[in-house]
A = this chain, B = another copy of it.
Amino acid sequence: MINRQLLNPESIVVIGGSNNMHKPGGAIVRNIMQGGYTGTLRIVNPKEDEVQGIKVFHSINEIPPTELAILVIPSKLCPDAVEQLVKEKETKAFIIISAGFGEETVEGAVMEEKILSLCKEHDAALIGPNCIGLLTSRHHSVFTKPIPNLNPQGVDFISGSGATAVFILESAVIKGLQFNSVWSVGNGKQIGIEDVLQYMDENFNPDTDSNVKLLYIENISNPDKLLFHASSLIRKGCRIAAIKAGSSESGSRAASSHTGAIASSDSAVEALFRKAGIVRCFSREELTTVGCIFTLPRLKGRNFAIVTHAGGPGVMLTDALSKGGLNVPKIEGEKADELKEKLFQGASVANPIDILATGTPEQLGIAIDYCEHEFKDIDAIMVIFGTPGLVKLYEAYDVLHKKIQESGKPIFPILPCLHTAGPEVAEFLSKGHVNFSDEVTLATALAQIMKTPEPASPEIELFGVDVPKIRKIIGNIKESGYVSPDVVRELFQSAGIPMVPEFVSNDKEGCLSFAAATGFPVVAKVVGPIHKSDVGGVVLNIRSKEHLEMEFDRLMGIPGATSVMIQKMIKGRELFIGAKYEPKFGHVVLCGMGGIFVEVLKDVSSGLAPLSYSEAFSMIHSLRGYKIIKGTRGQKGINEQKYAEIIVRLSTLLRFATEIKELDINPLLADENTITAVDARIRIDI
């Protein structure tokens, strides 16, 4: 529970504040003072009389009531301190910097629990323990450096790791990225990343609040909450990017050892981020680059003009944008010729616009103006401007500064000379700009943003899915494991998922009459063994009664066989839909083409149930082999609408049947008209 006392305290006490700047207790007092905190700052330290010019209280007993307490004392002293503060000093907010709690020992976990209960009882907010603190324009309650420039329109940054937050800030300040707030949630005992997002969502004021959020996450403890508030914020106009560390198996091991986080399966994370509309990043550089892009006006299209005074970086940028699906359209015509006239001989305007190494600041401005006003199909402008050290760049960067202020189109500054033009770049950043020193890093981050979908609709597509019936079927299942084919069929019928006509029996005559009625050719499959094909349990294209009789006998002789399934033999392209229940996340639904596409090429895309139609289409479209679904030269495509419908219906079924832990429909057979599930397995835990 985030409260006013945490965000905007009238008084702060640092328990353990000191004169030693090499210790957190000294550094945090210095940061609060240098941060211009305007309330009353108190310090408790039994061994000092004065700390950094402030008179010190020797014990908590002595202080007047104080709204926010920051604890930088050994962990074993924290529970008593919290108790005294909430009970005697009306303290309603805590930032516990100290480590040595649940992340280290069982005793630590017990202390942490006690502190949590005390805060709960007294309606107090708790950040930490085991964190670097909280940094806002009101109070700089962190013990670390660097302190980035603060600005209400800067970035809100929430981190699950204090040290990583520091390193991300290092990467950010070099780029000029400014911050509105930095939250290090530490062990997140009361307030985790999801809770900070919830607060920001529920209290969002579009006129005053920052609309950029960056997250560093090691453990998604409440995926639903993250999804709900992240997508809600994005719908309100915010932009969110996040690192979820621990995507590899070895990486997960590292994450577990770090904060006791149990890593979620990566495909669930990927699906969650896509559903929420969160831009996924994989490095500090990428996160801070995306953050810088988010502070610029929003892109309205994919067409970029590149204005450069050096050919090479323009070419590399063009290559990288193209690779990311973005365009550097050719610029030509009357207006282009006009611009060329205003540049030096040898300049090029075809895009990249190369004003040459000798290009002047004035020419830079003119080129930007043409991109802004004259070249109609340009959505954004990238400006590459460095120096070989002959002249200072103040004038050129001043032109760039003015154009960025005036321009309706986003302008991306790429200023590569951090060494030779260090002071000029610094002055440019001091005017509130960001800088992308490497053009390819920028292009890659942009591509990552552009491929992130909008948040999915939170509504569940219910029509045609008979939820009460589904619950009844599930309720009748008495033991865990793979359910029988007739239960699969009933569940699919209740969800409106078409299955091939089939008949399951251990009675040969029954099977023969079903085959006669549905019409040959038919397929016969053994029921019982899980991997039917491996035991020779699937026979296709049975064309006669006699053949079926023979195969029936053979199939019933396979070890584990309980009966035989007869299906109408249909043809079509093989599709696949699968689902897996991830604890806390819910069902991850996978789709793709069957056979080698799933097994060899791993060409599947994932979504988190329940899925909307637009999500299902987005999943289908993101398959590498999508062209085959669409139809290629000489080959008809399949009914995409129906495929999406089955994915949506299945995801709704799953949403109301969380007992289903694994589900495979493999294959579905599809043509341009219909799609039919041919074989399916469902595993249930009850």
Contacts and interface: CB of A to CB of B under 8 A. Distances in A.
Interface of A: 21-24, 27, 99-100, 103-105, 132, 143-146, 160-164, 166-167, 170-171, 173-174, 216, 218, 243, 245-251, 253-255, 257-259, 282-286, 306, 309-316, 318-323, 327-330, 345-346, 348, 350-352, 354, 357-358, 386-391, 416-420, 437-441, 533-534, 596, 599-601, 624-625, 627-628, 632-634
A312 B164 contact: yes
Given A170-B417, A170-B419, A318-B248, A311 B388 contact: no
Contacts of A320: 282-283
B173 A319 contact: no
A588 B181 CA distance: 54
Contact of A284 (B160, B354, B416): B416
**Cβ-closest 5 pairs across A and B:** A164-B312, A145-B389, A258-B311, A283-B440, A163-B310
B389 A163 contact: no
B254 A315 contact: yes
Contact of A600 (B164, B243, B627): B627
Q: Which of A21, A259, A328 has the most chain B CB within a 10 Å cutoff?
A: A328
A314 B258 contact: yes
A311 B259 contact: yes
Contacts of A327: 250
A251 B322 contact: yes
A348 B258 contact: yes
A190 to B, nearest CB: 21
B146 A247 contact: no
Given A167-B313, A600-B632, A601-B624, 16 more contacts: A21-B390, A23-B390, A27-B389, A99-B346, A105-B346, A144-B390, A145-B389, A145-B420, A163-B309, A166-B417, A170-B420, A171-B416, A246-B319, A282-B319, A285-B440, A285-B441
B350 A253 contact: yes
A258 B315 contact: yes
Contacts of A145: 388-389, 419-420
Contacts of A350: 253-254, 257
Contacts of A27: 389-390
Nearest to A442: B283
Given A167-B416, A601-B624, A345 B250 contact: no
A21 B392 CA distance: 11
Nearest to A388: B144
Contacts of A21: 390
Nearest to A167: B416
Nearest to A144: B388
8 contacts: A167-B312, A167-B386, A167-B417, A250-B318, A254-B306, A254-B311, A257-B352, A283-B440
A376 to B, nearest CB: 18
Nearest to A217: B312
A685 to B, nearest CB: 27
Given A146-B389, A167-B386, A627-B600, A311 B418 contact: no
A145 B354 CA distance: 21
A218 B173 contact: no
A628 B627 CA distance: 21
Nearest to A145: B389
Q: Which of A104, A164, A315, A390 has the most chain B CB within a 10 Å cutoff?
A: A315
Contact of A161 (B171, B310, B322, B352): B310
Contacts of A167: 310, 312-313, 386, 416-417
Nearest to A246: B315
A313 B284 contact: yes
Contacts of A533: 634
Given A282-B320, A283-B320, A315 B634 contact: no
Contacts of A316: 243, 245, 251, 282-284
A431 to B, nearest CB: 19
A142 B439 CA distance: 25
A358 B100 CA distance: 12
Contacts of A600: 625, 627-628, 632
A667 B679 CA distance: 32
A311 B161 contact: yes
B628 A143 contact: no
A284 B418 CA distance: 13
B438 A171 contact: yes
Q: Which of A251, A254, A322, A329 has the most chain B CB within a 10 Å cutoff?
A: A254
Given A251-B318, A632-B596, A345 B105 contact: yes
A249 B322 contact: yes
A417 B168 CA distance: 9
Nearest to A168: B312
B354 A257 contact: yes
B601 A357 contact: no
A27 B600 CA distance: 59
A167 B390 CA distance: 14
Contacts of A352: 254, 257
A344 B250 CA distance: 23
A372 B142 CA distance: 36
Contact of A328 (B23, B250, B418, B633): B250
Contact of A319 (B162, B247, B329): B247
A132 B166 CA distance: 39
Contacts of A599: 632-633
A438 B285 contact: yes
Contact of A143 (B170, B251, B388, B625): B388
Contacts of A171: 416, 437-438
A419 B173 contact: yes
A17 B439 CA distance: 34
Contacts of A255: 311, 315
Contacts of A247: 319, 323
Contact of A534 (B160, B418, B441, B634): B634
A525 to B, nearest CB: 15
A633 B305 CA distance: 50
Contacts of A163: 309-313, 357, 386, 388
A3 to B, nearest CB: 27
Contacts of A23: 390
A218 B311 contact: yes
